[in-house]
Chain A
């Protein structure tokens, strides 16, 4: 059974940093693109970033480019999101998600973590 477990959220002041983690199991992690999606309180879903199987290709939504960094450790079956220079508008539940098909960038997401809440406030 595929499992994705999010962790690392919390309360942080504007300008601060936070690192989110996603522990994967139940599938061959190194074969799949992985994605981060966020959801602000009471709002819809927003794609944030994704990363290729070997980490050699990454993409970001414009609003986080230069502040967030997605990475992965295939030996530990783990995905990360380093968030720097956080702003109040980054407040959201952050989900990691697995792409449906192996080695496929432009894909939908068939398994999701439970989400972790990031609150940016003074």
Chain B
């Protein structure tokens, strides 16, 4: 089974800061990685698919990078609407595993 490890588990930053979340896969998954945002009491929302593609309607301050085993979600300028838990998810051969989540807070 593929394991997905996110870091950090929690993150506190100021409005306007650049924020980076990392996701590591236990084996190569190519570009088969997605990022989601989940706010308390809500369903997850797709932000990034295929590692780097921005889902329609998602603000351009969100971006994704990476290939193989190491991936990054970046928020270029943290906004008051961005506090949430962020999850990565791999979707490679017969496998759909989520990372454990990164909680992002505003300082």
Contacts and interface: CB of A to CB of B under 8 A. Distances in A.
Contact of B98 (A45, A59, A114): A45
Interface stretch (A8-16, A64-72, A74-82, A105-113): A105-113
A71 to B, nearest CB: 19
Interface residues of A, number: 20
A44 B88 CA distance: 11
Contacts of B94: 59, 105-106
Q: Which of B43, B91, B94 has the most CB of A within 10 A?
A: B43
Given A106-B91, A108-B91, A114 B43 contact: yes
Contacts of B101: 44-45
A115 B92 CA distance: 25
B96 A50 contact: yes
Interface string A12-45: 0000000000000000000000010100000011
Contacts of B99: 44
Interface residues of B, number: 23
A50 B91 CA distance: 12
Given A44-B87, A45-B87, A100-B49, A106 B96 contact: yes
B24 to A, nearest CB: 16
Interface string A89-109: 000000100001000011111
A47 B89 CA distance: 10
A46 interface: yes
